Amino acid sequence: MKVAIGSDHGGVELKAELVKALSSAYEMTDFGPADTTSCDYPDYAIAVAKAVASGTADFGILICRSGIGMSMTANRFQNVRAAICANVETAKVTRQHNGANVLCLGADAVAADLALEIAKAFLSTPVDESERHARRRWKIERAQRLSDCSGLMHDDPEVFAAIEAQTKQEDAEINLIASENTSSRACREAAGSVLMNKYAEGYPGKRWYSGCLPVDAAEELARTRACKLFGADHANVQPHCGSAANMAVYFATIKPGDTIMSLSLDQGGHLSHGSPVNFSGKIYNIVPYTVDPKTEMLDYDAMEKQAMEVKPKILLTGASAYPRTIDFKRIREICDKVGCIMMVDMAHIAGLVAGGAHPSPVPYADFVTTTTHKTLGGPRGGMVLCKEQWAKALDSAVFPGMQGGPLENIIAAKAVMFREWMSPEKKGYAQQVVKNTAAMCKVIQDRGYRIVSGGTDNHLFLVDVKSSKGITGKDAAAALDAAGIIVNKNTIPFDTESPFKTSGIRVGAASATTRGMKEPEMVKIGTWIADVLDDITNTEVQARVKKEAAELVANFPVP
């Protein structure tokens, strides 16, 4: 057991006695001070708290005259629970109940022999793992979901109110928006960090401004981790969003007026794949392809035939609302035949690719673009992966081609997210997302609803509510919203409704899976969806589902 110990000038003598007495049983690291020259207690509290927060020490001991200033400082650190103890009994209880890991002693309050007894009791008492104490300790940690932003309560209460409302909404509702997820606290910490203060035009090692060493380190981590995670030659982690990542590829490769062949928006494509209202549709000649009208799946033979006629410069695949596995190997064959650039926008499925739950486009595609906030579950942002031969063109297209200073705080959060994906649990998460989606989809299908393409292979599915119940996607989504279930209206292939009404809803399981839900919960949610859609005017059913949904999510807290 490693114990970090520190004091101020008032606690130096007691510290020396404890170090001497505890050294035989514990690995003691003395953070000072060495003598009784007047000093500032927070300096030593911070050093010891850092050791405990980072996990380099198992316990901390802090001593000043009262122990109070030490505990106040140490408790500012995450994963630190500092307790002032003046007798053996409280030392035991705070270990058992609160899981305290830093002992604060007042040199004026306890004599040396009592202090030693307190320290021994503290260090040797195990944490009580029973449910009620575990729950209360969890609530201490949980308070941080709000307290992380609590300075705003005073500095900007209006903005704080918005953050608090979002926190409450996430706590109470079931989020099935297929393009959303829930970020980890670690990601949010990096995203809100001082790295946002730095201008860093350029790339690590080649910046326009001085003072970029810290942000260089963060960006290099993001780049190398992205390459390792996806097996890519090169990564550019600077695009501010998924649309910007796509723009970077177009700018790096083709000229205005050149032809891009892409899945049309109303079939599941994305705005930035050539919609007339988007820059992509205004600058380039867009030739859309569709899914097969019968199977509602990609038809690779038809795609090949069309591509051979159209001769696009870029063949773009990837979608915002396509529930099936995409055959990237087959698309590579088409691109080789046509002699065009293969570009894959894996914004939606990137997490499944990272976790091995969907085949990777990276070995085949010249360029792979993605967002970092959908199934990947990181900060809102974009990224491009490419083959080495395109690295220079890509980097120049992003900067100076289309962006100025990168958001280094967000890039650092991307790095945190990539590291999270290297853990085995996260790989299991990707498989669970697919299983959860399938479980939820099956219930709705069994209740008589038509599922676009007959099912799902990934993190989302589309319900054709028009042909099933004669209602629009807009009205279906509104009814579910009233029941505490958040989905979005979505066009289905060859939709006869307008994009504002639509015939479908899109349902995804990434966020629910992040909360820890598994198949039994997904079956419940699927049942509720069918209950609500069976009669969207029935407000009693909506109220009942809303109550049951809130009870369910209470057991699956948002990280």
Could you say which residues in the range 222-251 bind ligand PLP, by CB under 6 A? 241-243
The answer to whether residue 322 is catalytic is no
Instruction: Give the separation between CA 244 and CA 435, rounded to whole angstroms.
Output: 32
Q: Whats the size of the chain, residue-wise? A: 559
Among 332, 348, 474, 489, binds ligand PLP (CB under 6 A): 348
Residue 312 in tokens: 């696009």
Helix (H, G, I), strand (E, B) or coil at 335: helix
Residue span binding ligand PLP (CB under 6 A) among the ranges 288-296, 305-313, 317-325, 401-409: 317-325
Active site annotation includes 380: yes
**Catalytic residue status for 223:** no
10 vs 508 by CB, closer to ligand PLP = 508
Task: Collapse the DSSP code of 506 into the 3-class scheme (helix H, G, I; strand E, B; otherwise coil) and give the result.
Answer: strand
Residues 377-406 that bind ligand PLP (CB under 6 A): 382
| Whether 449 contacts 530, CB under 8 Å | yes
DSSP 499: T
Tokens coding 297? 């799946």
Nearer to ligand PLP, 12 or 347 (CB): 347
Q: Is 183 in the site for ligand PLP (CB under 6 A)?
A: no
Identified catalytic residue from 73, 371, 375, 514: 371
Dist. CA 218–CA 228, nearest whole Å: 15
Residue 266 binding ligand PLP, by CB under 6 A = no
From 13, 189, 201, 299, the catalytic residue: 201
SS3 content of the chain, % helix, strand, coil (to 5): 50, 15, 35
Which listed residue (253, 264, 290, 371) binds ligand PLP by CB under 6 A? 371
Number of alpha helices (DSSP H) and beta strands (DSSP E) in the chain:
24, 20
Query: Can you tell me which of 8, 266, 345, 395 binds ligand PLP, judged by CB under 6 A?
Result: 345
Per the annotation, the verdict on 521 as an active-site residue is no
Nearer to ligand PLP, 179 or 306 (CB): 179
- Which residues from 424-463 bind ligand PLP, rule CB under 6 A? none
Angle between helices 300-310 and 328-338 (to 10 degrees): 20
Select the span of 16-24, 82-90, 314-322, 399-407 touching ligand PLP (CB under 6 A): 314-322
Closest among 275, 277, 274, 282 to 256, alpha carbons compared: 282
Q: Is 345 a catalytic residue?
A: yes
The residue (of 240 and 426) whose beta carbon lies closer to ligand PLP is 240
201 is an active site residue: yes
Alpha carbon separation from 187 to 23, 142, 193, 449 (Å, rounded): 38, 16, 10, 38
Would you tell me which residues interact with ligand PLP (CB under 6 A)?
179, 241-243, 270, 272, 318-320, 345, 347-348, 371, 382
Which residues are known to be catalytic?
199, 201, 345, 371, 374, 380
